[in-house]
Structure 1
């Protein structure tokens, strides 16, 4: 009877394999050994799937829908293999895998405003899709405007050239250059540069273009150095369009740091803070007020948190001409910190939940903290 019940419960193909066994125990042992092998295969597939999940990164050429499709596919396969990926883990992995250059600001904002442990995956995806569409519309609009301004500038340049050429011929020859001819005598107050979209100058005299030419000349000059020396140096160029140095108050206070969501990197102008610094890392940083300042190194600093413990903050740029000390909230969240805003108070905890920073919003809507 036991053998008959076993044969009724298993597939016909398996019945043919174990049909020659004469006792129920032998049949049961044969079935069990086959299923142990299947479990091991399933476990191996699950480990491979989880490794693929941990390595997954969204490419710059992908959009949110394509990347979410990959995450959903891995989640479905994992569920079919008996392993359920928690929604909070799926949300954190999704935010972590987004391209930093394009989504760092919205990701930092969501991590500060929302409780990711209780936020659904669909809600996060919807917010990121709305942000992506808004950015895409803005980029397309700027691109169309840039093309239009470039076309208009070319047409105006051609007209200027023909007028100058005709005028020079009328004054006695093609090589005669009268005063006031060409761009030198024109009113540029209503001219928009198609390179930087600012009024008052042509693209040929744009400060951004001149800066890049200067950087290219410096690079060409440095290229004559020995190959070994070039291998040791690292040159970086940072663009901080949302950082305005003038908004940070400077009243001579030591150990005062500003916590900024617009900055993408930690920065300080005081070399005394550094425990370790690599001065081979150089470059330039451009701020939102069009100022350009030299980078003279990068390293780590030590500070004392709210609990009196000594901590280390890594990847801090040394910019001697910067009068303020800036902590990037986005970079802090990448390091695993939990940053929350409630009322006029900002708190930062480490991965273990220990309080690192507690700051109160000042009158100019900045958060600052004194670190010894």
Structure 2
């Protein structure tokens, strides 16, 4: 049934605005307008002017479509709100009245966006929070930002989620970041394969009547399996993942060693939070300081003290300044960075520069230079 050009199915889909959660209501209304082909009229309005018979006929059709859009808006607000738009003669007028009152002026929108941006920057997963709940929080905040005109890409959202998961999901972050395609989406076939594997395991457990306590939650197990499935297809080997853990980028701009991998910390004082700037003047959030213990390919332990925990980093950073204070000389020549002991003159490591002008130092490179054999204090060289 059609009433005033509006089908009964369309009427049933109209969300009612009561004065709360305008941002969500406006998103629903935009979708409705687009489905009816009237969004451009609502957003931009129209010029009520015609100079020829042809233009007069065209204007009549436009006005009819606009009346349809205005009818949508009028039906989509509660009686307590309707008085605000009762005098509006076009859909654009009514829409702008509601937008100005409930979304705010340009200044108000700017302030709200700044608040949402800060909230997005500091957003992190709670220790007892499920993946689904956390993603819902992220999605809700992103939608609020978009409703205020923020242009935030899917890549930025994915990157934020990856670096703000709790430590038990670090395998997810490592696997995806080390893949050739950072913005991996778990496709339907991946989920299907994982579901089949989980069902097989559960069936085996039931047949064997095995009961045990598993420290890894079912949710974590499923995500781990998704990574395994995707890793098979993308040929992410164990060696590649391990490289992430042992790789350090030599950085002349940072005053302290830094790591983004929480599980590397033997001890971590999360009360020592601060803001620091890197050499490129980028400001980052430090979520704590502690001691990192690294085991080399030879089985020897290396300890880094006063290491900053910075979840937003994409690589671990070794501070050149801190190395020099600790008794090492650093020289750069012909695309190589050479680290030497000032005391013995021994070359600790020679690091070649990569194509993107970074100096990645692997613990195994230091090991090859017989660093461990030089003195009793070598286990604490990076302090």
Q: What is the TM-score when the length of structure 2 is the normalising length?
A: 0.33
Which of these two proteins has the greater Rg computed from alpha carbons? Answer: 1
TM-score (norm 1): 0.34
